[in-house]
Structure 1
């Protein structure tokens, strides 16, 4: 039985008052907390964040910059406290920019750490070419220290947070989108990566290989799942309303096999799940499916 601390994040990278900012509350209403009933659970509720701002900040160009900085600071403190207390933090809601708080917290508390990143995108967009200022398109580049020249100083002080050899990426399928902005693949930089096609044949083996890679350089690592790694036909409440999602992606069963195998392996010190938009899930069918997925993850945790 693990000691879990659940941390909701009511943040939307576009500065919208709803959408991803409502994900954590919608997931709780669907039974997300109860999905971990086999463990001792501390429900920390949602972080207290400033009102959203849909404008892009001067200098960084980030959208909703004030709430992003507040979220990073608060999440870093909350996750650090959980880890120091011997708890396993579960961060839910919002988008992939939560990693700016959680991964830096793991590094701050235990030292050199890794990241197992399951996502449909590589998230390395430089801030100076970002079309929308959304931090969730840029956080991996920031965490690696590859980008960030225009980042606000309060973020720069936390970065970089991971070494290239301490990152494993599973599931990206955004090659065509990145090509529009002349952004290359991290695979070309030697980052360990497997595509959707490589994972599909044996997701559990892909997870084992990814964790083996991480633990060669980092004893402790964070597991992150962006639900847009799923095929949109399987999970419709992803992406931006009115913008077509990239085709392809994993099935729920493939993602479950992948993430459950990883969560049960040595060194996993926290889990985050992001990119669920309840405004696109009026009957809450997708929320219920996330809860089933969370229950499977919970069953794998020691």
Structure 2
């Protein structure tokens, strides 16, 4: 398999470092070697403008210039890789990277799909998201259930995903969404297996999700938000200033899901996001992420 490794040096809050340093830290932890024996094409990181900590006029979200540049560059690189027969592995940043990835799939795949592993549904409307982080909104924008306030180039790319092209695993944000009176996308017909319904048999949940995707899509993308993990076993997630949301998968359960899913066939790319090296002083979370990517890629068929 020919892999294109794509680094995303993006932080959704416009902070210096944090998740923008994730890809570099994962490389230092052995990411490139973990992709062996596959051929790795490495064209370097995305080139993003200086980060901003204010909300932008087109999206109402933080760090808008870098967000728009990331979306544009990922759209181009992922579309070219998939069209050329490569398997993109996208690392770093946060879930907002899916705005570039999924729009790229939509451009080159007739019926694109997304297997979304995350502790949250990420469907906050732009006028509701209190912190201004795009990573709380991207699924709603991709589905078109939110985003009426968008203007500019991002608005022109959306929506990009049908409800039956999405399968969600691991969500545990019911209480948080209730605070803002935001319902679940499962009420719209999205296939979903929240944390409480997959913990006992993660591999079976992965098989059910991929069965759904293979019935409704031509090819699909696997996205892992590392906050699907329990913060007790993976503390380098999220924001150090926010209280951790308890519970989540352990590393063995997550690996069982990703390897079972990618082994089912039809997956054209992988992304892993929401790793903060500044919360990982001993590098153990970086090593765990590299191990997860290694096991997942080796299970691909």
Common topology (TM > 0.5): yes
1:151: which partner in 2?
150
1:36: which partner in 2?
35
| Matching of residue 81 in structure 1 with residue 80 in structure 2 | yes
Q: Which runs of 5+ in 2 are unaligned?
A: none
2:102: which partner in 1?
103
Partners of 1:59 and 1:68 in 2: CA distance: 11
Partners of 1:171 and 1:87 in 2: CA distance: 28
Q: Is the 8 A contact 1:38 1:299 kept in 2?
A: no
Instruction: Give 1:254-293 correspondences, 5 Å limit.
Output: 254-293=253-292
Partners of 1:34 and 1:301 in 2: CA distance: 17
Instruction: Give 1:1-302 correspondences, 5 Å limit.
Output: 2-58=1-57, 60-302=59-301
Q: Is the 8 A contact 1:7 1:92 kept in 2?
A: yes
Partners of 1:221 and 1:152 in 2: CA distance: 28
Q: Which runs of 5+ in 1 are unaligned?
A: none
Q: TM-score, normalized by length of structure 1?
A: 0.98
Partners of 1:59 and 1:70 in 2: CA distance: 13
Partners of 2:189 and 2:298 in 1: CA distance: 33
Q: Is the 8 A contact 1:38 1:298 kept in 2?
A: no
Structure 1 position 295, deviation (Å) = 1.1
Partners of 1:40 and 1:265 in 2: CA distance: 22
Structure 1 position 59, deviation (Å) = 5.0
Structure 1 position 44, deviation (Å) = 2.3
Q: TM-score, normalized by length of structure 2?
A: 0.98
Partners of 1:44 and 1:230 in 2: CA distance: 30
Structure 1 position 60, deviation (Å) = 2.7
Q: 3-state DSSP class of the match of 2:258? A: helix
Q: Is the 8 A contact 1:8 1:44 kept in 2?
A: no
Q: What is the aligned length?
A: 301
CA RMSD of aligned residues (A): 0.9
Q: Is the 8 A contact 2:92 2:272 kept in 1?
A: yes
Partners of 1:248 and 1:298 in 2: CA distance: 26
Partners of 2:220 and 2:142 in 1: CA distance: 14
